[in-house]
Structure 1
C-alpha cells in the first residue's frame, strides 16, 4: 500500500488543528489515530511522540528557534512555524532520527504545503540549530521564573502562582514529573472481573499491568498499542482513570443502597466507580451539560454493563427541584484550570490564563451553591478538581463553609492508604501533587451536612 500522507504531515495537521482551531490535543490526536488505524505501531508511536513532545516542550522550542531565526516564531506563517517546531523537537529529543533526515523531511513538507519559496529558510534555520544544539545558552537561575519557564516549557504566570505557595524543590519536582513518560492508570471493574483475572487477561493480550501502591484495584498499564484493540477494554473489564480520581469514591465511602448524584460526570469514571462500589444497589445519576458529554457517559455505562447508573443532560448551575435533599452523596468534580493534569493534556497550559482561572472560581462557587441543596441531612458533598491552585481548592472550601455552616469538613484519613494519610494537611482536604505523589495533581474535600440540617427552599 503506497502512503499518500506521511507521519510528519499528519503531525503537522494535528498541530495546526490544536494551535489554530483551538482543538484539545488529546482529541485531535485521537481523531487522527482513529482515522489512520492501518498505520503500524511504530508509525503511530512516532505521530504520538512528536505531537505530544512538540506541545510539551513548545516554550523551550520557540526559545531555541528565536535564537537562530531572524524571523521570530510569532511572525512566521503558521504552517512553517509548526513544521520548524516539530523538527526542532526531533533534533533535540529523538536521537533515533538523523539530523539530516529531520531537516530534509521538513523542507519536503514545506514544499508539499505550497511554501517552496521558503525551502531555503526552513533548511537554513534547522541546520543552524542542529549544529549548535549543544551550545545553547538558557536563562540563568538568577531569574528563576524565566529559567524554569524555558527549561520546562511552563507559562510564567503558572510558575509565579506555584512559587508563591510551594518551595522551589516541590515546584521543580512537579515540572519534571509532567515531562516524564508514564503508564496510564486503570481501575478494575470489580463487578465484572477480579484484579488477578484482569492482570492475566492483559498479559495474554501482550500488555503489562502492575499494581498501583495506593489502591488494590488500581493498575498501571503499559506495553499496548491501541486501547480499543484490547479485548479486555472492549469487554468493559476496566476503566481508564487516574488513581487520584478513584480516591473520590474511596473518600465518599457510599453505603449500599445510597443515592448518588454526580453533577459534572463526563466521561463517567467516578459515576461508574460509585456504582461498582454499591455492588448494583442504590442509584447513581450521572449528569453533564451537553448531549455530547452525556453520550460519552452512556457509552462507558454500556461498555462496563453497570446497571445502577443513568446519565442525563442537566446544567449544574440550575437547581433541580426534585433533587433537593435527596442525595446521600453529591459528587462535585467541577470545571477547573486543569493545572494538575498538564502531563496528560499538554496544551492546556497554553489555553488557560490567570483571568480564566479566576473566572472558574466564580463558576465553581455558583455550582456549589446549587448542588449543596441536593445533599440529605447527614449526607456527603465531595468537592474535587484536577488543579493545583489554592483559589480553586482550599480557598473555595473555606468560602463554602462560611456560606453554608450546616456543612463541616469530615476527617478523611481512615479512607486513605498509609502513604497518603500524612498528605491531609487540613482536616477533610487532600491536595495531591505530581512528582510528590504517584498520581495527577488533584484536590478532594469531603463535607458532610449536619443530621439536623434543614433543606433550603430558597
Structure 2
C-alpha cells in the first residue's frame, strides 16, 4: 500500500477529534470524507477503515507505542505506525516514521497479545464484567468477534419492491449483493461501498439494517389494520420495517423524546412510501396515558449499553462508564412497566436491546414478570444473538403476551 500524506493527515486529525475531544467516530468520519472532493472511493475507504481500526485497538496500539491520553500529534503518529506495521504495510520514508522500531513493535505485540484486555483493546472493568456475565469461553469468543468490521446488510422495502428485484437493480448500478440465509428481507453487500448514492436507495427500495436487527419486527407479528406502538422509535429503522409488515394498513405510532430523530424518521418514511406512521414526541406522560389499553402490539427497543454493536460503534467501549449500566437498567425497567400498560388484553410486546449482557436482557424480563405490572403477562419466547455465532450484531429480543 502506498501512503499519501493528505490521507494520513486526515486519519490523524480524526483520531485527535475522537480520542482527545470525545467526538463520535461516525460523525468525525462523515465530516472528514467531505474534506477533499478529489478523493475517490479508495481514498475515503482508507480514511474510514484505518480510523475505525485505530479506535478498535486504541489500547493495544497505545501500549505498543508507549503513549497515553491525551495523545499529542507525535503520539498519534506513533500509533498509526504501529497499525501499519501490524497490518504488514511498508511505512513511507517520511521524517515522522524515520525511527519506527519495526522489530520492537512486532515483538511487543507477541508479548501483549496474551492479555485479552490489551489484545482485544477493552477497559479492565468491561473485560471483568463480560467474563462474569457470559462466562470466560463465550466472552472470549464474543469480544473477539465484536472487533471484526461489520458487514453491510440491506433490508428490502417490500412496500416498493422485492429482494430479487432489488438485487438486480443494485447489480446494474455496480453493487454486488447476496441473500442472507434465514433473513427473507436481507441482502449483504459483497464488498463495502457507498450504497446511499444508488438510485435504488433514492427511490426508497431499501434501508441499511443489520441482519440481527431485522429479526425484531417479524417477532412482533404486526399485521395490517392493527394499532402498533414503537415506544423508542429513534430515527425509525425498525418502525419502517413494521410499516412494511403492516402493508401500510392500520396505525403505527412512533414515539420518542428526541424531536430531531423523529424528523429524520419522517424523511425516511416519505422516501420509503410508508404512510401509516404517525410520530409523537414524548414530553409529559399524557401521551402514554391516552394510549393505555389501546395497542395490539408494542415494541420497546430499549436504550442500552450497545455492547452488541461494537463492530459498528467501536468508540462506545471507551465512552461507557461502569455506573452507566446501573442507570440504563433502571431506565429499561421503567420503560417496560410504562409501555406494558398500552396493550389490549391478548396484545403482544417485544422487548429488545442491542446488548449482550443478561442484566439488560433476561434479567430485565424476569424482573418485569415478577413485578406487579407484569403479573398479567407471560413470556412467549426469547432469543440472545451473539456476533461470534451469527456473524452479525449482538442482540436480544423477548416476546411477551398480555393474557386476555
**2: distance between equivalents of 1:32 and 1:152?**
26
The CA deviation at 1:315 is 4.7
**1: distance between equivalents of 2:285 and 2:383?**
25
Q: Is the 8 A contact 1:214 1:243 kept in 2?
A: no
Q: Does 1:181 align with 2:149?
A: yes
Which of residues 416, 425, 438 in structure 1 aligns to 2:391? Answer: 438
Equivalent in the alignment of 2:106: 134
The CA deviation at 1:435 is 0.9
Q: 1:316 to 1:372 in 2, by over 3 A?
A: farther
Equivalent residue of 1:391, what SS? Answer: helix
1:179-230 deviation per Cα after TM superposition (whole angstroms, max 9, x unaligned):
3234211111111111111111111111121111221111112335323211
Q: Is the 8 A contact 1:408 1:449 kept in 2?
A: yes
Equivalent in the alignment of 1:417: none
**2: distance between equivalents of 1:336 and 1:316?**
22
Q: Is the 8 A contact 2:159 2:244 kept in 1?
A: yes
**2: distance between equivalents of 1:36 and 1:375?**
52
Which of residues 253, 260, 263 in structure 2 aligns to 1:292? Answer: 260
Equivalent in the alignment of 1:238: 206
Equivalent in the alignment of 1:409: 378
Give 5+ residue unaligned stretches, structure 1: 67-71, 108-121, 142-146, 412-427, 452-458
Which of residues 95, 98, 120 in structure 1 aligns to 2:90? Answer: 98
Equivalent residue of 1:320, what SS? Answer: helix
**1: distance between equivalents of 2:124 and 2:41?**
37
1:56-80 deviation per Cα after TM superposition (whole angstroms, max 9, x unaligned):
11111011012xxxxx423653x33
Which of residues 74, 84, 87 in structure 1 aligns to 2:69? Answer: 74
Q: Does 1:15 align with 2:10?
A: no
Equivalent residue of 2:306, what SS? Answer: coil
- Give RMSD over aligned pairs: 2.2
Q: 1:315 to 1:16 in 2, by over 3 A?
A: farther
Q: Is the 8 A contact 1:50 1:90 kept in 2?
A: no
Equivalent in the alignment of 1:28: 28
Q: Does 1:83 align with 2:55?
A: no
Q: Is the 8 A contact 1:341 1:441 kept in 2?
A: yes
Equivalent residue of 1:447, what SS? Answer: strand
Out of 81-90 and 56-65, give the one that drifted further. 81-90
1:435-455 deviation per Cα after TM superposition (whole angstroms, max 9, x unaligned):
11232110101111111xxxx
**2: distance between equivalents of 1:317 and 1:353?**
29
Q: TM-score, normalised by structure 1?
A: 0.82
Equivalent in the alignment of 1:415: none
* Number of residues of Structure 1 aligned to a counterpart in Structure 2: 399
Give 5+ residue unaligned stretches, structure 2: none
Q: Is the 8 A contact 1:206 1:223 kept in 2?
A: no
The CA deviation at 1:314 is 1.7
1:255-307 deviation per Cα after TM superposition (whole angstroms, max 9, x unaligned):
22111111111221111111100111111111222222112211211221111
1:85-135 deviation per Cα after TM superposition (whole angstroms, max 9, x unaligned):
233212222x3x42244xx27x3xxxxxxxxxxxxxx754xx12x232332
Q: 1:76 to 1:331 in 2, by over 3 A?
A: closer
**2: distance between equivalents of 1:75 and 1:280?**
51
The CA deviation at 1:140 is 7.5
Equivalent in the alignment of 1:220: 188
Equivalent residue of 1:310, what SS? Answer: strand
Out of 197-206 and 372-381, give the one that drifted further. 372-381
Find runs of 4+ consecutive structure 1 residues off by over 6 angstroms: none
Q: TM-score, normalised by structure 2?
A: 0.92
Q: 1:246 to 1:152 in 2, by over 3 A?
A: same
Equivalent residue of 2:235, what SS? Answer: coil
Which of residues 213, 226, 240 in structure 2 aligns to 1:272? Answer: 240
